[in-house]
Amino acid sequence: MNDRKEQLAALRAAAMRERDPTASDDVLAVLLNEVRERPAARILEIGAGRGLTSVALLLHSAAHAVGIERDPQRCIAARANFCAFDLNDRATLFEGEAAEILPMLEGPFDIIFLDAAKVQYRRFLPECRRLLAVGGVLFADDVLLFADGVPPKRKMLARHIEEFLEDLFADGGFSAQILRVGKGLAVARRIGDVDA
């Protein structure tokens, strides 16, 4: 296990060096804490990148991970990473647009990590809600991206994130909070089938 941890740490460091974003250490720690505390059977990562966060979660659980990634090069890397960690039989990667793939998926998932284009978070929220098990958690990364101020060119994106958070906190089917880890992590537990 230690070898695998080191191998994963090296891949995460390389991704960060190459500015190919992956979950920050503190965001990953929150996700890992969740799988340690509540065994997860199925995990969905929307915006899987090189698959490194799914790999970390799979190494710490017996879950099956489903990833969605639209960038072909990152898909190649993700498949190679699942293979390198012997996780092929516990990982499924869909290559393409999350907006097209999400409606084809069936739940329930115990954990959904929403880490795709922030401009689409709001659009993906109803699908996340549909796919998440009661008691499961939606994690949405980077929701405080502009906490220190919004550059004029990013106003539209900042508004999209704000609207996502408004919808999330107004939804009676979630109990939500924002953790100040990474660039802000929304953590929303699905609490029942209450309609928004």
Residues in contact with ligand SAM by CB under 6 A are 21-23, 45, 47-50, 52-53, 68-71, 74, 97-99, 115-117, 120
Nearest in space to 109 (alpha carbons), one of 79, 143, 68, 52: 68
Under 8 Å CB-to-CB from 44, ≥6 apart: which residues? 65, 66, 67, 68, 105, 109, 111, 112, 113, 131
**In 10 A of CB 71, how many CB atoms?**
15
23 vs 35 by CB, closer to ligand SAM = 23
State in angstroms the smallest separation of the CB of 27 from ligand SAM: 8
Q: Six-digit token pair at 79?
A: 């498949």
State in angstroms the smallest separation of the CB of 69 from ligand SAM: 5
State in angstroms the smallest separation of the CB of 21 from ligand SAM: 4
23 vs 188 by CB, closer to ligand SAM = 23
State in angstroms the smallest separation of the CB of 171 from ligand SAM: 21
23 vs 143 by CB, closer to ligand SAM = 23
Question: 120: part of which helix (H) or strand (E)?
Answer: none
